[in-house]
Every structure is written in structure tokens, then in C-alpha cells.
Amino acid sequence: MREKIIHKASELFLTLGFKSVTMDDIASEMGISKKTIYVHFSNKTKLVEAVTFNLFDVICDGIDGICDNAPNPIEELYSIKMFVMQHLKNEKASPQYQLKKYYPLIHNELKLKQFGKMHESVKDSLKHGVDTGVFRNKIDIEFISRMYFTGMTGIKDDLFFPPKKYQMEYLMESYLEYHLRAIVTEKGFDILNQFITKNQS
């Protein structure tokens, strides 16, 4: 039952926002009593925390699978972008913003977890790119992996990139190309251009 509650709450939170959805809403959607939810979660904050870190774990597992099977580091990053976009396809209510505003402690912990995961993943990807000749061999891997995380989180800031003006798909696609063009070799540039051309046609 705990997993079912987390699953339904995830759907509702991503679609309607953390603030809007009540425990009554979740109980009603599941056809159970609110007391049943409180057996597993003592309050809404505990449920928000469980949903947040469960989603984080699911996305991490998916990213690990992509990294193990990607043909090269360039397609790997695009595949991760597509996976994350599909997983957050119902993200209509700026859940990251609401999490930051209404549950700042959970948001801060999530951001640290996201940084730890992305930092290591991108460092591995960059090293692999250098070893296979698609990224320049003199790039500062530690610095670039941190810059990548900063950029990817920065484009989600509604203050600077208002949703009415920018779609998240466009922002992620543009930032990814911007990031890659700065570090690819000629070999990497050819792979990048072929990949972009193939996926635009």
C-alpha cells in the first residue's frame, strides 16, 4: 500500500503541484480513507519527502541503464535528457519551484543528491569522451561537470526562463547543444551534427 500511495501522490504532485494536492485528494483518487495514508505517512511533509526521493531513485536507475548502453557520450547525454523529459512529462505545475517554496529542507536535500549523482555521472561521461576522442583532451573535467549541473538547474529557474516564453524541451535541447559544442573534437562535432540532423528530420 505504501508504494501505491507514493505512486498516486507522484502523479498528482507532478500534475497539480505539491501545494495544491491535499491528503484528502490522494485518498479520494485512490478510493481509500485518509487514515490509511496516515498509517504509512505521519503528515504530508513525510509523503512529499518519500515521493521526491522515490522519483529521484527511479530517475537515477534509468540514467545508470542509459550510461551502460549508450554508443558514445554525446548520444548518452541526449538519451538522458529524453528519459528525464519523459519521466517528468506531467510537470505542469512547476513542482521544483513549489518544492523550493513550501518544502525548502526537502528541496535542499534533493539538490545535494542531484548534484552528487549528476557530478559523478557527467565526470564519467567526460572522461569516456576524452578517452574515445570525441571530447578535447585538455578540458577541465571537474570544472565542466560542475558547470553542467549549474546550467541544467539554472534553466529551470522561472524567474530567468519564464514558461510562457520558453518550453523546457527547448531549454534542455539548447543547453545540451551549447555544452557539447564547447568541448567536442572534430570527431565529436561530426557525431553531434549527424545526431542532431537525424533527430530533426
85 pLDDT tier (thresholds 50, 70, 90): confident
CA angle 115, 106, 43 (to 5 degrees): 155
What does pLDDT average to over the chain? 92
What are the boundaries of each domain within the chain?
A: 43-200
Radius of gyration over every alpha carbon of the chain, rounded to an integer in angstroms: 19
86 three-state secondary structure: helix
Q: Which CATH class is domain 43-200?
A: mainly alpha
pLDDT one-digit tens code per residue, 45-81: 999 999 999 999 999 999 999 999 999 999 999 999 8
In this predicted structure, what is the pLDDT of residue 201?
47
**pLDDT: is 74 or 85 the higher one?**
74
At residue 90, does pLDDT exceed 80?
no
